[in-house]
A and B are shown apart, each in its own frame.
Chain A
Amino acid sequence: MKCSEVNAWLLVTRPTAPTPGPVRRHLKFCPRCRRRRRRLLHLERQTCALWPAQPAAVAPARLMQQLDAPVVPPAAARPSAARPWLTTAAAVLLGLGLGWLWFRAPVASPPSTPEPAPFVAAPTREADEQLLVKFIDHNLRLAQSYDASEQVGVLSRMETDLRAEAVRLARQGQAQELPLIAALFDRVVNRGLVGRSHHLPPAERSRQLSRLTEQMQKAEAEVNQVAQEMPTHLADFLKPLTRAARQAAAQLTQDADPEPAFEPLPRLTAASGNARALVAMLVSHSLLLVEEDDPLQRASYCGDVADQLTVALLLASSGGDNERAGRLGKHLEAVVNRGVGENLNRLQASNDPRAAVLQQVIGRVNRLVAALEQSLAAGQSPETAGYDQAKALEHELKDLEKALREAGKPKGPGKLEARGTVRSIDPATGRLVLLAKDKGKEFELTLLFPTDVKVRGPGPLERSLSEIMTGTAIRATLRDGGHITEIRIEGKPLR
């Protein structure tokens, strides 16, 4: 590990946090970094002592007296009972990014009497990673699918996988993991499946609804069966699953019209990089994808996923887990190409020039992924293999994410700009090919413009299209679907 990396770690870590092996090893041999750590420790102590930790003891008591002032009783206005599934899911999902470690702490007592073999806890890391692979695949399929029947098929498989995972965890006595899986299950069936069922083509709707209802009934029966084999404290953790399956079956049977109004979904993160946190993030983004038809927005969701995978990759790489970093690199490549890239291709196919700009970023991301994989394959020292490339990749993904968000916003002037020299311009077809430069690399952009496009510059004067010729340096402002709204001439040659 390099001094700069250790320094970065020290600067964002509290002194009380456990020191990872690579950092410890580095500190052992690096007096400079040891001194940095001591400085930070001292800074921490001094900051804590800076302001009095205790105010006048009467203040909280005075506050409690003030509560007697007439206020709306909190319980009267409490809205959450009206949407219990959402609060359950939100409780788990929203807390995930900041409380993953908390989730891992046991919340249920271990069985008080010896249990038969199926309840013995077993290492789950491998199982978690396998689950991650499945959900990456589900997410990618949904990223590429705009068809409700296909989406329902993938969501059904997600339901089956989550159910199997819940049963596995229950059998292994891992009660603390079950609330998250139950919340994800609930969301997949009651939002994903029920929601998408309203978009099925009329010809197959009835057949699909009865198949899905049957699947939900089977899910309820299976989980009930497993719960009966469990000690009570474990069986209780399975109840939310049976409830969710029952609720979904009821909604599918009723075939209520119109589609229920859902709350906006959060764009979950997976700060821990942990496989299960990534699965939760993938489920959340999978549901975002199926509810979205705009390729650009879908590409943005896939960009989120890529970003989170990069964070996980960085953590794995800095922790010396090259094998996992390599696997995550493969997932990342797939998400960038099949998720972000395919959606942008769709955008490009509709002649939307925003896609051309964004594809350049994808190209850079791909090159970095390739470099990263080479480093990992070459077996550099575990602490540093691929780390620099991963950092560069993270930087690129941030650019991509920014560009996607910008491109997806309703545009004001100048939100998205393309700059370069004109390679060709055809006012008859409204097509302009621009030779643009970005980070020292040249690439071609094909842009469309209306016949009444504003042409200005140099200076404030208005110009005409005929003044633009091959080699003219221009800055094109894009909006309203990416078409050029204004061209500013920045340099000669002028006709």
Chain B
Amino acid sequence: MPPEDEAQLVRQAAQGERAAFAALVERYWHWVYRWLCGWTRQPPLAEDLTQEAFLKAWRALPSFQPGASFRAWLFSIARNALLDSQRGPRGLPTRPLPAQTAAPSGDPAEAAEQNEGAALLEQAILRLPAHFREAFWLWSQDDLSFAEIAQVLGLTEETARWRVFKARLLLVKGLGSYLDSRLP
């Protein structure tokens, strides 16, 4: 979606146009959901939180500063919803997802290999310090820039860049042999 189209949709949604907001939901739902899945590791909870985040966004649209990054703003709301949920009764220890998280494959052997790889990667990500993991997860979503990640996490751009740098460095180090085995 070109940025000017998105800005137009945001303006219209802020004026109460549901169709415009629906288009924004369509555009960003799966990114927010996916990010929350990564954090909570519980798809039903992630879905609830995504819904909550969009509802809050709809209500808060009048306070959105035109010209700012809408997606960064939206991820900030999702992050706050997540933090709120961790304080309440939903803030229970997360359970790992069933192994079938990677894209399903027609070939059982390949599917098993994919699952094994996904589990390894998931473990490596979970081992990252929380502040690195948070920045890395955002970086993995929808091409968020460092400036946007900084906006979501309330950091400077340089710190956001540093955290992503460290997270990726640690992951590559931790997964070196696995990643090498996957290289052509």
Contacts and interface: CB of A to CB of B under 8 A. Distances in A.
Interface of A: 8, 11-12, 14, 35-36, 38-40, 42-44, 46-56, 59-60, 62-64, 66-67, 71-80, 87, 90-95, 97-99, 102, 105, 107, 269, 271, 398
Interface of B: 3-4, 13-16, 18, 21-22, 25-26, 29-30, 33-34, 37-38, 43, 46-47, 50-51, 54-55, 58-59, 61-63, 65-69, 72, 101-103, 114, 117-118, 121-122, 125, 140, 143, 145-148, 151, 157-158, 161, 164-165, 168-169, 171-172, 175-176, 179-180, 182-184
A180 to B, nearest CB: 11
Nearest to A48: B140
B178 to A, nearest CB: 9
A11 B165 contact: yes
B18 A64 contact: yes
Given A50-B121, A67-B18, 15 more contacts: A38-B184, A39-B180, A42-B182, A50-B118, A50-B125, A52-B43, A55-B46, A55-B47, A64-B21, A64-B25, A79-B62, A90-B68, A91-B66, A94-B65, A271-B147
Contacts of A55: 29-30, 33, 43, 46-47, 50
Nearest to A73: B16
Contacts of B51: 59, 62-63, 66
Contacts of A398: 158
Given A40-B172, A47-B121, A95-B68, A8 B165 contact: yes
B75 to A, nearest CB: 13
A60 B26 contact: yes
Contacts of A105: 3
A74 B15 contact: yes
Contact of B30 (A14, A53, A94): A53
Given A71-B58, A94-B67, A102 B50 contact: no
B30 to A, nearest CB: 5
Given A74-B13, A75-B15, A271-B157, A50 B183 contact: no
Contact of B176 (A11, A39, A46, A102): A39
Contact of B172 (A36, A80, A94): A36
A52 B183 contact: no
A59 B114 contact: no
A362 B38 CA distance: 44
Contact of B168 (A11, A73, A91): A11
A42 B175 CA distance: 11
A53 B59 CA distance: 26
Nearest to B54: A63
28 contacts: A11-B168, A12-B164, A14-B143, A38-B184, A42-B183, A46-B117, A46-B121, A48-B140, A49-B118, A50-B125, A51-B101, A52-B37, A52-B43, A55-B50, A67-B55, A73-B16, A74-B13, A74-B58, A74-B61, A76-B62, A77-B62, A78-B14, A80-B65, A90-B66, A94-B65, A99-B3, A99-B69, A398-B158
